[in-house]
Copies of this chain bind each other. A is one copy, B any other.
Amino acid sequence: MPPALIAIDWGTSAARAYWLDAKGRILSSRSAPLGVQKVAPGGFPDALRVLLGEAVHEDAPMLACGMIGSRQGWIEVPYRECPTGAPAIASALAQVPGAPLWIVPGLICRDPRGVPDVMRGEETQILGATEVGEALSRTIVLPGTHSKWAVVGEAGIESFATFLTGELYGVLKDHSILGRLAARGDDAASFDRGVRRSLEADASLAHDLFSVRTLALTGELAPGAVGDYLSGLLLGAELAAGRRWLQRQRVPGDSVHLIGDTALCERYRRAFACAAIETTVGPADAAARGLWWIAREAGIAG
């Protein structure tokens, strides 16, 4: 029997396809390192064939989210403005010419100064988490290279903010003087120390990052703890700024819902605990759930 929908989470570095039955249940899934950054212009039809492998169903409708809809993707799908929800997003899908493949638009929002923020893919994960009622909080945090904090409400996704935390950790670890010292292990106490430092009123990331070096130099931070302390400083800085961001929007900041990679969500859960913020986590297949909801709203699921 053909699937009711092939749901594809197609990001910057990788793509994952889910085969869903008529009730939206995941029958199987398959991933490939064929993210948008790794596919040459014109190469997306071939990349899709590789991703789907033998399990091609010529007639099955396909719905994709993520960077596949960006300027560097298969076709560029204009951003939808926040606040917005599943019905509006479903009405703005773009179809790839000549294929039963639709792409979900990303979202754009502007802060009070008019500065834009954008997401592509996370909107679908957020809908996937809220659809099943798992998001107990108004605030959803998606840790990652570019972490997203989103506020959800009756209008759907109301606003969001991006933090470069994961990318900062990566470039500092791989390319800075701090990185030569840094091995991230599982030194929870040093991680908490970094988080707590960044939560203090006089924290300053550009200054505090240097303490990674000086504490290691004076032997006040063990070699195996350096990476965890650095990670803690960065997550703490995100948390402090995210908390202020919620306050400015008058959204209670006492609990957040985390979606993403299990190990990374655990790291964030630990950081939030340092700030006495409660966390709930999941689901793991939020993108597939969100794509299923959007496909049904759009009437394209078989």
Contacts and interface: CB of A to CB of B under 8 A. Distances in A.
Contacts of A220: 116
Interface in A212-264: 214-215, 217-218, 220, 234, 237-238, 240-241, 244-245, 248
A218 B175 contact: no
A230 to B, nearest CB: 11
A136 B137 CA distance: 54
B168 A206 contact: yes
Interface in A142-174: 146, 161-165, 167-168, 171-172, 174
B168 A207 contact: no
Given A171-B175, A176-B171, A206 B116 contact: no
Given A115-B215, A244-B202, A248-B202, A209 B164 contact: yes
Given A115-B211, A171-B176, A175-B175, A205 B202 contact: no
A131 interface: no
Contact of A206 (B71, B174, B205, B248): B205
A215 B171 CA distance: 22
Copies in the complex: 2
A275 interface: no
A51 B238 CA distance: 46
Nearest to A165: B206
A177 B166 CA distance: 12
Contact of A241 (B207, B215, B241): B207
A118 interface: yes
B171 A214 contact: no
A162 B116 contact: no
A117 interface: yes
Interface of A: 71, 108, 115-118, 146, 161-165, 167-168, 171-172, 174-177, 202, 204-207, 209-211, 214-215, 217-218, 220, 234, 237-238, 240-241, 244-245, 248
